[in-house]
């Protein structure tokens, strides 16, 4: 078994165990959000506080900019005069497709639009008018741009893509970096009551599995060589 296959099995097992844990014990989410709640509708930070406003507003712009850059590089790589870019056009295509598959399609257009889960700040537990619902349980407390899962965390997690096709050591470094960056964005989103802990954890997994699906498709189409580990 290759190290990549082992990694995937570990990730699938971790995903399954965590999913069961949060469904069976939804109070974990309430406990984690409660660490940031100060009572009377007040949270550790407000979303517009400078310490949160910069990453909150900046990360989506950074992600959008990355998409534009990757698209430009991919288009330029189609022309023979740009030989250096031409040699990397599959990499650019993979990164672009992975960003679309995970953070955009799976997270923004599927999960966030259909989960129906409202954000912590809106629940009766934390002074809001709506009902708390566990992760993975269909709900009707939100119509669009819902809490499950965190788009910011999914976007932060995407940095793992830059080492995805690299050597095992490089891949592990980028995976660890993605966990660290995602944890930071989880703090940014949880501290003002914007997301539950499970929203953040499974936001990371959404990007991770989105990249696996993208890689599978690229190898299936022959755009990437077979894994040689």
Q: Closest by alpha carbon to 47, among 35, 55, 38, 59?
A: 55
pLDDT in tens, 141-172: 999 999 999 999 999 999 999 999 999 999 99
Give the position of tokens 């793992």.
160
Task: Give yes or no for residue 228 having a pLDDT over 90.
Answer: no
Exposed, middle or buried, 204 (CB in 10 Å: 0-12/13-18/19+)? buried
Task: Give yes or no for residue 229 having a pLDDT over 70.
Answer: no
Q: What is the pLDDT of residue 117?
A: 98
Q: What is the pLDDT of residue 46?
A: 86
User: Is the whole-model pTM more than 0.85?
Assistant: yes
Which residues on neighbouring strands pair with residue 39, listed in sequence order?
42
Q: What is the pLDDT of residue 80?
A: 86
pLDDT in tens, 47-90: 889 889 999 999 999 999 999 999 999 999 999 889 999 989 99
CA dihedral 88, 89, 92, 94 (to 10 degrees): -110
3-state helix, strand, coil in the chain (%, to 5): 65, 5, 30
Q: What is the pLDDT of residue 47?
A: 80
Average pLDDT, stretch 109-131?
97
Average pLDDT, stretch 103-128?
97
Q: What is the pLDDT of residue 1?
A: 47
Task: Give yes or no for residue 227 having a pLDDT over 80.
Answer: no
Q: Where are the alpha helices (DSSP H) in 25-161?
A: 27-34, 50-76, 83-86, 89-99, 112-114, 151-157
pLDDT in tens, 168-224: 999 999 999 999 999 999 999 999 999 999 999 999 999 999 999 999 999 999 999
Q: Which has more pLDDT, 16 or 226? A: 16
């Amino acid at each position: 078994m290759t190290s990549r296959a082992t990694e995937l099995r570990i990730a699938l097992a971790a995903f399954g165990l965590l999913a069961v844990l949060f469904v069976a014990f939804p109070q974990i989410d309430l406990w984690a959000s409660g660490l940031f709640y100060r009572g009377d509708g007040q949270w550790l930070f407000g979303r517009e506080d400078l310490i949160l406003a910069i990453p909150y507003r900046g990360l989506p712009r950074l992600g959008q900019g990355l998409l534009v850059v990757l698209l430009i590089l991919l288009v330029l790589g189609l022309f023979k005069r740009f030989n250096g870019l031409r040699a990397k056009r599959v990499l650019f295509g993979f990164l672009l497709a992975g960003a679309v598959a995970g953070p955009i399609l799976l997270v923004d257009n599927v999960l966030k639009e259909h989960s129906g889960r409202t954000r912590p700040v809106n629940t009766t537990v934390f002074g809001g008018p709506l009902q708390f619902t566990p992760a993975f349980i269909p709900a009707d407390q939100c119509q669009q741009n819902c809490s499950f899962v965190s788009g910011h965390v999914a976007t932060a997690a995407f940095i793992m893509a830059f080492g995805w096709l690299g050597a095992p050591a490089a891949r592990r470094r980028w995976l660890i970096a993605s966990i660290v960056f995602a944890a930071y964005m989880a703090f940014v989103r949880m501290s003002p009551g914007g997301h539950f802990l499970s929203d953040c954890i499974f936001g990371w997994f959404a990007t991770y599995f989105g990249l696996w699906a993208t890689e599978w498709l690229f190898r299936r189409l022959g755009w990437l060589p077979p894994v040689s580990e």
